[in-house]
Amino acid sequence: MTYKIKSRIWIESDGHVLLGEGRVRLLKAIDETGSLSKAAKLLQLSYKKAWHLLDSMNRSAKEPVTINSTGGKDGGGTLLTNYGKRLIIIFDDINKNCWAFLDDQIEKIETLDNSE
């Protein structure tokens, strides 16, 4: 028999979600495309939903996660701040370490099954 542990990780700040897998995917897509609109399309989210998620992150974080530039000859865009980029790295590290921990924990059940 094969066991799996299912889990989702998110980070809250004052009762509001700051980061989770979906929000980190959005930040990565913004970093890749330089645009909230393009990131939303890439992730098949409505612009309104993507904007809401990004606004929520920016309000929950200690520093801005993104900066917006307005139009001009090259048009506007959305860029990650250094703080936003560091949040992605830290979240990915936490997530990876959590999964490694959970993999070690599931071995306890598998070992129990093998000892009977």
The second-level CATH assignment, the architecture, of 10-115 is: Orthogonal Bundle (1.10)
3-state secondary structure of 106: helix
- Read off the pLDDT of residues 36-90 as tens digits, 9 standing for 90 and up: 999 999 999 999 999 999 999 999 999 999 998 776 556 679 999 999 999 999 9
What pLDDT is recorded for position 72?
56
Q: According to DSSP H, which parts of 43-81 are helical?
A: 47-60
3-state secondary structure of 80: strand
Share of the chain above pLDDT 90, in %: 66
Confidence band for 19, pLDDT divided at 50, 70 and 90: very high
Supply angle C-alpha 54, 60, 66, rounded to 5. Answer: 40
What pLDDT is recorded for position 74?
61
Q: What is the mean pLDDT of the chain?
A: 90
Q: Where are the domains of the chain?
A: 10-115
